[in-house]
Amino acid sequence: MKKRILSAMMLSTVVLSAGASTAISTVHADTDSDIAAQDAKISQAKSESAKAQGQVDTIQGQVDSLQAKQASNKATLEKLQKESADTSKEITKLAGSIKERNGSLEAQARSAQTNGTATNLLSAVLDSSSLTDAIQRVTAMTTVANANKSMLDQQKKDQEDMQAKLKANQAKYSEATKLQESMAAQAQELNTQQAQLKVAQLNYQASITTAQDKKQSILDAKAQAEAAAKAAAAAQAAQEKAQADAQAKADELAKAAQAQQQQTAAVAQTPASSTSQDNNSSSSQTTGNTTPTPAPTPGTSGSNPYPWGQCTWGVWQILGGNMPTYSGNAADWVAYANSGLAVGTIAVFPPGVDGAGGFGHVGVVTSVSGNSFTVSESNFNGGLGIISSRTIPSTAGVSFIRP
């Protein structure tokens, strides 16, 4: 990039020198020798204009290539957002099934303890009024035990599926973030190339202009275009430095993030239930300890684990790191919902709700008025890393997490 800018500036200097030389000469020649000299300068200007036109064509090709890349990246980003939104819906459905199944198992356990129905198999047989009654009792107890075991097995499978989908969505989220950063860099490069294109076009115009007044106005415009090109190049350099700093910080946190994922996977693999048979009393009992959604690990204000500038990064910054580390995209945080609307909670917006994108959105509730509330958020108004506030008129479709 720097070489292209330097080449453009050098060519601008050559053409400008040729134009300046032409401007110094008198347009109206009094003698044949003056006319011949002017014709020679005009011929030289035409030669320089051909070189400038070649530069125009080259830079235009680079601009067209960057625009094509932007269009392709935009299509890829939209595809990733759609896939992530679909996966988030599946995660939400699994979380609901797990919660409902937990309630059913807890209700059965409370019923057994309260009503004293957890009798052993021998008592069921001895208390029977007939052989038929005994068979019916034993069959009923076996059916309940088998049903509970199936329910607990399904609970374990859903837990593992949800963890797998969370991991897959996190990968899509990281890929989309890198794609957004790439598109931002391409946009900055496109601005620089377009600024250089304008300089080259003005160079071309200046090289074929012979009238002094028009030559001066074009040279003034060319100077402004060169200043804009330098400013665009400086802005691009600043952006590249910011991205390099962000990447260095991300690399520093990569090991911590990997350890967190391994811990979450280990919790997901813990058996969700156990079924035991008491041989001494010949009783059949089913006990289950369901594993809830893995508890997020506490964080520290000095190490933000989320992609720089995103809404999840903003929540961490706003709370000063006084929050656990939640897995998945913003929309996936619905699995950790544990509160109603309150100041200090994290608002979770599914895709499409109150302006949330394909990966969902999160923000911190800073004030509440009835069902209306105000959130502080990042990457909503102003782009990556910009923290802003807005008021949401209703809690419809929004979940809340008490960190």
Closest CA to 188 of 263, 139, 257, 240: 240
The answer to whether residues 367 and 332 touch, using CB atoms and an 8 Å cutoff, is: no
Asked whether residue 284 is domain-assigned, the answer is no
Helix (H), strand (E) counts: the chain = 6, 9
The answer to whether residues 276 and 263 touch, using CB atoms and an 8 Å cutoff, is: no
- The whole-angstrom separation of Cα 13 and Cα 264 is 61
Cβ-defined contacts of 254-262 (< 8 Å, 24+) = 256/303, 256/305, 257/305, 260/297, 260/305, 260/325, 260/327, 261/167, 261/170, 261/327
Contacts of 55 (CB under 8 A, 6+ apart): 8, 11, 200, 203
Asked whether residue 187 is domain-assigned, the answer is yes
Sign of CA dihedral 299, 302, 305, 310: positive
Asked whether residue 217 is domain-assigned, the answer is yes
- The whole-angstrom separation of Cα 8 and Cα 194 is 12
**Where do we find the tokens 């890198």?**
178
Q: Which amino acid is at 67?
A: Q
Helix, strand and coil in the chain, % to nearest 5: 65, 10, 25
What is residue 319's predicted lDDT score, i.e. its pLDDT? 97
Asked whether residue 127 is domain-assigned, the answer is no
Does one domain contain both 9 and 62? yes
Any idea what DSSP says for residue 325? E
Asked whether residue 245 is domain-assigned, the answer is yes
Does one domain contain both 101 and 19? yes
What is residue 33's predicted lDDT score, i.e. its pLDDT? 78
Asked whether residue 38 is domain-assigned, the answer is yes
The answer to whether residues 80 and 170 touch, using CB atoms and an 8 Å cutoff, is: no
Closest CA to 109 of 338, 270, 335, 286: 286
Does one domain contain both 254 and 314? no
Residues in the chain predicted with pLDDT less than 50, given as ranges, are: 1-27, 29, 116, 118, 256-257, 259-301
Does one domain contain both 333 and 244? no
- What's the domain range around 359? 302-401
Asked whether residue 230 is domain-assigned, the answer is yes
Q: Which two tokens stand for residue 92?
A: 């939400």
Does one domain contain both 371 and 252? no
Number of domains in the chain: 2
Which of 207, 239, 266 is the last residue before a domain boundary? 266
Closest CA to 364 of 389, 381, 393, 396: 389
Cβ-defined contacts of 346-350 (< 8 Å, 24+) = 346/315, 346/400, 346/401, 346/403, 347/373, 347/375, 347/392, 347/398, 347/399, 347/400, 348/398, 348/399, 348/400, 348/401, 349/397, 349/398, 350/88, 350/92, 350/397
Does one domain contain both 311 and 260? no
Asked whether residue 189 is domain-assigned, the answer is yes
Does one domain contain both 44 and 91? yes
What is residue 302's predicted lDDT score, i.e. its pLDDT? 60
Does one domain contain both 25 and 96? yes
What is residue 249's predicted lDDT score, i.e. its pLDDT? 56
Report the CATH number at residue 376.
3.90.1720.10
What is residue 208's predicted lDDT score, i.e. its pLDDT? 66
Which of 266, 284, 315 is the last residue before a domain boundary? 266
Does one domain contain both 37 and 99? yes
What is residue 131's predicted lDDT score, i.e. its pLDDT? 74
Q: Which amino acid is at 272?
A: A
DSSP per position, 328-390: S-TGGGGGG--B-S-TTPEEEE-TTGGG-BTTBEEEEEEEEETTEEEEEEESSSSSTT-EEEE
The answer to whether residues 271 and 288 touch, using CB atoms and an 8 Å cutoff, is: no
Q: Which two tokens stand for residue 89?
A: 């819906």
Does one domain contain both 87 and 187? yes
Does one domain contain both 309 and 259? no
Number of residues assigned to the chain: 403
C-alpha triplet 350, 356, 362: angle, nearest 5°: 70
**Where do we find the tokens 């059913």?**
104
Does one domain contain both 200 and 331? no
Which of 248, 266, 284 is the last residue before a domain boundary? 266
